[in-house]
Structure 1
Amino acid sequence: MATIKLFHFIGKTYSNGESPILLRVTHQRKTKYIALGYSCLPTQWNKDKNRLRKNYPNYKSKNRVLSTLEERAESVLDEFTKLDKPFTFQSFEDRFTNITKSCTVYDFFDIRINEALKTNTKGTYKQTKNALYKFAPNKKLMFADIDYQFLKKFETHLLGNGLSGGGVHFYMRTLRAIINEAINRDYFQRELYPFSNQFNKNGYSISHLKSVASPRALSEADMERIKNFPLEDHPTLKKCVQYFLFSYYSRGMNFTDMAQLRWTDIYNDRIKYTRSKTSGNFNIKVSPPLQEILDYFKSEYTYTGFVFPVLSDFHQSESQIKYRVRKCLKQYNGQLKEVADILKINIPLTSYVARHTYATTLKRKGIDTAVISEGLGHQDISTTKAYLQQFETETIDKADEVL
């Protein structure tokens, strides 16, 4: 019966001095070599053990890969015996290479980018690919090169470049999805899966990277300052202040949803829309403060079917909408910094502060957390509790003062 063995073929030398590591298959005194995609210097190969030496970078993880390939070759040989199939080099190679199809990490990213139907998904894959390439600029990076140590170093690299835990979590989550799909398509061995799961308890976990919510809610006094902002002294900031107040009065509607809100979404004194982030449906009563803001925008901007002057009928494609919203949001947040400076508000004022302030204001007024959670459209009440963490801390601090 045929036999297999890992073999360092020094008969061929690359320009960097390395020689390929091959799988040698022997049957009836005939031999066939199958390339495995790895190479090393003669001094990095242990002939006795047929494995890489310690002086090879990440030798442990690479040896695990070689062991896996060797085991798969053995399993293919076993199939011929169990099924009583006649052995041929071609049939062995076809079966072996079908299991271990070769595709670089970056090539597979390109495959997924081209397959993605949504612009957001394409953007996510592109961002992650670019971030990974800055860390590992090796176009021939293979999935087998990504192990626990690789991921930890990638994490350190991202944090060192100023990303928050949430930012790192975003890239790691996307990379994990790419690897999962690569496994489904036989581009990567499931046994080498580097992330933590029920079968690999010691794998790399992304749970510690989840952003710890650090909500920033305005105090009642600061919120009153914004409500009474001296618009006549700062007319260029009027639209910005109105945006913020609209979000506050509309249960913390985010800017993306505000930008896409149409006048046809407002009828019978209700605002009805679907939140883009969660696909949750909202039905909000138009309160007097909201009506005042709506009246302002209706009188000032009547050239489009949108409530707010962000999008127009020109913005048709998903990419056009995304780019325009992002550009306007950046301008909006920049103006909010001016508002904060004028009003001497100490916390960083952004569009999202309106959402946190809405939730915290309701809590201050005794509204149950479950009701606030429903108003925000949270699927998990723990998310709402994170929003209210600052309020809970302030309440406990005041309680401590009686000691």
Structure 2
Amino acid sequence: MATVKVKFRPSSVDGREGTVYYQVIHGRVARQINTSYKLFPAEWSKRHSRIVITPSNEDRRQYLLLLDKRIAEDTDRLENVITALGRKGGTFTADDVTSAFHGEHYGLFFLVFMRKVINGLRRLGKVRTVETYTSTLNSFTRFMDGKDIPLGDMDSDLMTAYEAWLKSEEISMNTISFYMRILRATYNRAVEKGLVTQRFPFKHVYTGVDRTTKRAVPLRVIKQLRTLDLSLHPGKRFARDMLLFSFYTRGMSMVDMAFLKKKDLANGILSYRRKKTGQQLFIKWESCMQEIVSRYNIPESPYLLPVIARLGMDERKQYINASHRINRYLKAIGKELGLSVPLTHYVARHSWASAARSKNIPISVISEGMGHDSETTTRIYLASLDTATIDRANRLIIKSLCRE
């Protein structure tokens, strides 16, 4: 069986960095694969064949951590190449291994190819897409127990087994469909690049959209939340207020709320562009909205709400962490109130739509008010609508909520 060793070649010049290389041994024949990874001799452990990460300089430490990660990825890829060559039957040489590693053959492995796709999306700034693809990759990697698979071995039997595994993990059908559609899109990219012949591995698994469980709560529950005394529980109060703010603003999503700027509010109108669709929305500012904003105002912050509270740090990460925290508190509140619907921030959006419909507000108005620019099922009745009509609809709902 072929083996892979990680080696370090010191520089012939004292004080200069040396180079990491890989040694592939098979059939008593050794071949070298050179890399561009540079290290000083003190940063390499010959005994353990790995990088020594001890410098006090943070930049150097991060550099060594990155190299350590890349070396791990390279050795994993080499092991996958060896496994794939072995599966094909017959004999192979150390030269075959190095050739497959150097060439585009590595793209014939699904997990490696998907990581390439994700890196490409990251370079394009597709942050949300990178997150969803990474989540899918992590799930499929767990199913595969960390082992990669040649693209040619992706077939309907494997995908059916993956679907069964997801069901055993009690993953919802919509989430299963979500993962399958992303894997299918990745596989189809490989087909387009000519890396694999189309074998339709997803033809027997679920890729549709199930009717979602009810997420809306009645207006009386929103009223109950509004009057709930949470003064002794700041975390819960903040979570409740973020849900109310979303409801007041026609079901604004958490990500849009997180990135609202103070400059977005001018002359009594809040304007923002939906992250999901890019559609620009305008909302008449109401006193109940101001009450929440005033309660959490941070004077030196450019943001309207304190979801992103630490300036200069990873804003996307702050939003994600805050979103998880808010939903945890909301679920706890929902259980305390005995609600049959799990209380999350997204409930506000469904509840606003439900409340609007109960007031006999036309679907076209609801659609426009919620920014369903691409949801043709709710926009077939009207192409555009005066924002004043939407503002009147929102005020009608808020008045119903505030009425004793």
TM-score (structure 2 length as normaliser): 0.63
Question: Quick check: 1:377 aligned with 2:371?
Answer: yes
Taking a change above 3 Å as real, the CA distance of residues 341 and 127 of structure 1, as seen in their structure-2 partners, is closer
1:350 to 336, 344, 350: 344
Asked if residue 220 in structure 1 is aligned to residue 228 in structure 2, the reply is: no
**Which of 35, 39, 64 matches 2:88?**
39
CA contact (8 A) 2:107 2:195 kept: yes
Q: What is the CA–CA distance in structure 2 between the aligned matches of 1:213 and 1:384, rounded to whole Å?
A: 20
Structure-2 change in CA distance of 1:158 and 1:237 (3 Å): closer
Q: 1:295 to 1:114 in 2, by over 3 A?
A: closer
- Written as runs of structure 1 = structure 2, the 5 A alignment for 1:6-25 is none
Q: Which amino acid aligns with 1:224?
A: K
2:307 to 294, 302, 310: 310
Question: Partner residue of 1:124?
Answer: 132
- 1:263 aligned partner, one-letter code: K
Q: Give TM-score scaled by structure 1 length.
A: 0.63
State which drifts further: 220-229 or 353-362.
220-229
Q: CA deviation at 1:36?
A: 8.4
1:184 aligns with 2:187: no
The one-letter amino acid paired with 2:131 is G
Shift of 1:374: 1.6
Alignment pair present for 1:141 and 2:149: yes
Alignment of 1:153-192 (within 5 A): 153-190=161-198, 192=199
Structure 1 residue runs of 5 or longer lacking an equivalent are 1-13, 16-34, 42-97, 196-202, 386-403
| 1:321 aligned partner | 315
Question: Which residue identity is paired with 1:380?
Answer: E
Question: Counterpart of 1:111 in structure 2: which amino acid?
Answer: K
For residues 246 and 259 of structure 2, the distance between their equivalents in structure 1, rounded to whole angstroms, comes to: 13
- Matched residues in 1 for 2:146 and 2:342: separation? 40
SS at match of 2:272: strand
Per-residue Cα deviation, 1:154-207 (whole angstroms, up to 9, x for no partner): 1111121121112112211111111111112111013x2334xxxxxxx34543
Provide the C-alpha distance between the structure 2 equivalents of 1:297 and 1:140, rounded to a whole number of angstroms: 48
2:228 aligns with 229
Q: Is the 8 A contact 2:111 2:137 kept in 1?
A: yes
Alignment coverage as a number of residue pairs = 283
* Change in 2 beyond 3 A, CA 1:237/1:189: closer
User: Greater CA deviation, 142-151 or 268-277?
Assistant: 142-151
Tell me if structure 1 keeps the 8 A contact 2:251–2:352: yes
Local SS of the residue matching 1:207? coil
Go from structure 1 to structure 2 and tell me whether the alpha carbon gap of 1:275 and 1:152 turns closer, same or farther (over 3 Å shift): same
Matched with 2:274 is 275
Partner residue, 1:207: 207
Change (3 A) 1:241 1:129: closer
Q: Show CA shifts across 1:83-110 (max 9, x none).
A: xxxxxxxxxxxxxxx9999721122123
Q: Secondary structure in 2 aligned to 1:279? A: coil
**What is the alpha-carbon root mean square deviation over aligned residues?**
3.0
Q: Where do residues 40-119 of structure 1 align in structure 2 (5 Å cutoff)?
A: 103-116=108-121, 117=123, 118-119=126-127
The separation in 2 between residues aligned to 1:178 and 1:238, in whole angstroms, is 42
Matching residue within 367, 370, 373 for 2:361: 367
CA distance, structure 2, for counterparts of residue 334 and residue 131 of structure 1: 22
Structure-2 change in CA distance of 1:156 and 1:289 (3 Å): same
Structure 1: how far apart are the matches of 2:144 and 2:310?
42
Distance 1:101 1:305, change over 3 A: closer
State how far apart, in whole Å, the 1-side matches of 2:338 and 2:106 are. 61
String of CA shifts for 1:207-252, please: whole Å, max 9, x gaps: 33x2422232122221211122224465553322221111001010
Aligned residue type for 2:277: T
Compute the displacement of 1:136 (Å): 2.6
Q: Which amino acid aligns with 2:242?
A: Y
Q: Distance in 2 between matches of 1:331 and 1:138?
A: 30
Residues 261, 307 of structure 1: 8 Å contact kept: yes
Structure 1 Cα separation of the partners of residues 248 and 205 of structure 2: 39
Q: 2:200: which partner in 1?
A: 193
Q: What SS is found at the alignment partner of 2:308?
A: coil
Find the aligned partners of 1:335 and 1:36 in 2 and give their Cα distance: 51
The one-letter code matched in structure 2 to 1:230 is D
Instruction: Give the partner amino acid of 2:116.
Output: I
Structure 2 residue aligned with 1:28: none
| Pair member with larger Rg | 1
- Give per-residue Cα distances to partners, 1:338-374, cap 9 Å, x unaligned: 4334444343211111111111111111101121112
